[in-house]
Amino acid sequence: MPTISSIKALKVLNSRGDWTIKTTLELSDGSTGWAIVPEGASKGELEAICLPADQSVDLLQGKLSKALVGKSFVTVSELDKFLIDIDGTENKHVLGGNTILALSVAFTRAHARSQKLDDWEYLANLAKSIGISVDRKSAITPLFNILNGGKHAQNDLSFQEFMLIPARNYTMEECVEVGVKVYKSLRNRLQRDGFSTGVGDEGGFAPLNFTVKKALTYITECASEHYKVGEDVFLGMDVAAGSFYRDGYYVLPEEHLKLTSEQFERYLLDLMRQFKLIYLEDPFHEQDVNWWRKAVDDFGSRVMLSADDLVVTNPQILTGAIKQKLANTVIVKPNQIGTVSETLDFVNLARRAGWNVVGSHRSGDTEDPFIADLAFALGADFVKFGAPSRGERTSKFNRLLELYSS
């Protein structure tokens, strides 16, 4: 069993121009792995803590190198447990979820190389070992975030992501072609109508003076130039409701609205009736659990109600959400929990509950395509990588295209 022979770390930039960390881990047999950790702008209250890049680099090259070099681990799960024990806190604030994840992913890749496996193959074997059943007969479907708002854009929109969703019968290449066609049509339409085509953090357009209905109307009309909306393509939104929840009200300044939870549910239902919406992410504040439950009862059979901030890729929190029937879909972001193994445990729970799984990037992402390998290995139903543009987004689409072509 090879031991860890070296750990190197340095500061690098993410897509927002903020510092993050890149880690390279080498095993005694010469196998190496690397990782660059993303960071979100819209964060759940219970996510693992992200330490400043300088502090993480110091830990990786100091305390953690001393603790790890010369040691061997049978699987990444063993390494993760070792690091969790060193940290000793529930939210990983001593070592930082970002620091631990950098080691977890880098070790995963190094161990895969040592076993002559691709990253996804190593991850698939881990998934199988804990009972995750994977069916790759149908391709993963991307949720293309082609119009940005909320914390991901400097515009008026309170809702964070407006998504185009190809039908489930498309291949990966066909899905990407759908996303690209409608994305370009939307750019041309915005230009023609005199709106800016500047983009938000995730590559979607971020026009000024838009309302939610106007955003959905533009996407619907642009999609209709190429496809039948409601049959070939559908719409979805990351509401990110926690970002505009104020003192018990959902406040939408661009629409001059201040809504109670009951009124906000009616508002969402009205949007569902007007547009072909099949996906709603974080439709209520993470603490507004009674309305999460009611939404599942009222329209969970027609729409994917996706939990991000509500469960933050945390197996313990997800267990409670499943028992209370608060959603039917989960977002998977490894940096929310801080280890590969806990991410797999999270997906295992979601699968056993019959929930949909969405592998997701972060708004401050990097060229590292690890989330694409993870989604492929786990047979995720959907992925969110942003718009089909910008290198930190296209690296992930391109990795999935590569995996499906091999």
Annotated ligand binding at 363? The verdict is: yes
* R_g of the chain computed on alpha carbons: 21
Annotated ligand binding at 160? The verdict is: yes
Annotated ligand binding at 161? The verdict is: yes
8 Å CB contact between 204 and 148: yes
Annotated ligand binding at 402? The verdict is: no
Annotated ligand binding at 31? The verdict is: no
- Of 380, 326, 73, the closest CA to residue 85 belongs to 73
Annotated ligand binding at 133? The verdict is: no
Annotated ligand binding at 113? The verdict is: no
Q: Which residues of 304-340 are buried (b: 16+ CB within 10 A; e: fewer)?
A: bbbbbbbbbbbbebbeebbeeebbbbbbbbbbbbbbb
- Of 202, 214, 191, the closest CA to residue 161 belongs to 202
Place of tokens 């498309």: 170
Strand arrangement of the beta sheet that strand 249-252 belongs to:
245-246, 249-252, 257-259
Annotated ligand binding at 285? The verdict is: no
Annotated ligand binding at 247? The verdict is: no
Which residues share a beta bridge with 10? 22
- Of 321, 381, 237, 260, the closest CA to residue 46 belongs to 321
Q: How crowded is residue 186: how many other Cβ atoms within 10 Å of its Cβ?
A: 26
Annotated ligand binding at 111? The verdict is: no
Active-site residue, from 26, 39, 47, 202: 202
Annotated ligand binding at 80? The verdict is: no
Q: Rounded CA gap, 244 and 150, in Å?
A: 9
- Of 124, 166, 175, the closest CA to residue 379 belongs to 124
- Of 303, 296, 179, the closest CA to residue 236 belongs to 303
- Is residue 174 among the annotated active site residues? no
Amino acid at 95: L
- Is residue 202 among the annotated active site residues? yes
Active-site residue, from 43, 181, 333, 396: 333
Q: Rounded CA gap, 16 and 38, in Å?
A: 10
Chain centroid to Cα 214, Å, comes to 25
Annotated ligand binding at 384? The verdict is: yes
Query: Annotated active-site positions, please?
Result: 202, 333
Sequence ranges of the binding site for substrate = 152, 161, 281, 308, 360-363, 384
Sequence ranges of the binding site = 152, 160-161, 238, 281, 308, 333, 360-363, 384
